[in-house]
Amino acid sequence: MTISSLRLLACVGLLWAHANLGAAEPARILIIAGKQSHGPGDHEFRAGSLLLKAGLDRLGGVTTVVASNGWPSSLDAFNGVAAVVIYADGGGGHPAIQENRLHFLDGLSRAGVGLGFMHYGVEVPKGDPGQAMQRWIGGYYEHEYSCNPMWSPEFSQFPDHPVARGVKPFSIRDEWYFNMRFREDMKGVTSILSAVPSEAVRNGPYVWPKGPYPHIQSAQGRAESMMWVREREDGGRGFGFTGGHIHRNWGNESFRKVILNGLLWIARQEVPAQGVDVPVSDLELAQNLDPKGKN
């Protein structure tokens, strides 16, 4: 391990000690919103993150901070965090895998900090990054193993789990990834949003590469998980959510609620009996969009 890695791990210990000293304070959630990406109304990481923050602010009991434009410039942003969520572009440019950040996040995970990843943020290269995601949240998007069609799953049944509280059946068009590379035994992993893709969806085209992939076609009739949670052996928690490409979808009550519930859950906070119930207006949806031109 490099000196730089050791310094990062030492910082984790200091940050966690700081968190314990302030245990009586509201749980602190850090959402890392990625840099500008895609066209108007798509991959609006900052606007979506600020909507989620506004929802939790109305609920009270937690403090939510949004770091815009990628990884925070200072590790002070992680002081006292109960949970860290990354909503950003992934793949080889994923903010969590640059420099020595895998080691840093591993340290947070071992200290019990919750970790969540949304949309493109669930995709990392296989190898060390993929194995880390399996430890943290239970699975990840693997290039040319998973796929990313635009489609409208029918979410009709939900598990008896705090993250699913108050979530009602819904269907919404988005770039819903599926066929994640989950832990081999799925130990500690619970599917929250699942649906059965049609034959047409399995046949593609996918967003990229367009497919179809024979192994996706051959699984016809199988339910696929598009949001899942993991309770780790160390007591820490995590979630993965593959939707979130289209910003206006945050206006859907259940789409929004399942993530707000998830944010509370990975921060080890009580989820209300009917879930986090906070409305979002059309005006709020139109706020904080990246300067990409007209929607």
- Is 33 part of any domain? yes
The per-residue pLDDT for 10 is: 44
Res 18: pLDDT:
43
pLDDT band per the 50, 70, 90 thresholds, residue 88: very high
Asked if pLDDT for residue 26 goes beyond 70, the answer is yes
- Using an 8 Å Cβ cutoff, are 264 and 16 in contact? no
Q: pTM surpassing 0.85?
A: yes
* Across 231-256, average pLDDT: 96
Please write down the HEC assignment for all residues of the chain.
Answer: CCHHHHHHHHHHHHHHHHHHHCCCCCEEEEEEECCCCCCCCECCHHHHHHHHHHHHHHHCCEEEEEECCCCCCCHHHHCCEEEEEEECCCHHHCHHHCCCHHHHHHHHHHCCCEEEEEHHHHECCCCHHHHHHHHHCCEEECCCCCECCEECCEECCCCCCHHHCCCCCEECCEECCECCEECCCCCCEEEEEEECCCHHHHCCCCCCCCCCCHHHHCCCCCCEEEEEEEECCCCCEEEEECCCCEHHHHHCHHHHHHHHHHHHHHCCCCCCCCCCCCCCCHHHHCCCCCCCCCC
Residue 224 lies in a domain: yes
Share the mean pLDDT of the chain.
Answer: 92
Q: What is the mean pLDDT of residues 81-100?
A: 97
Please report the pLDDT score of residue 9 as a whole number.
47
Find the CATH number of the domain harbouring 57: 3.40.50.880
Is 226 part of any domain? yes
Q: Is residue 291 part of a domain?
A: no
Q: How many domains does the chain have?
A: 1
292 belongs to a structural domain: no
39-58 pLDDT, tens digit per residue, is 999 999 999 999 999 999 99
Give the structural domain span for 232. Answer: 3-285
Q: 210-225: per-residue pLDDT in tens?
A: 999 999 999 999 999 9
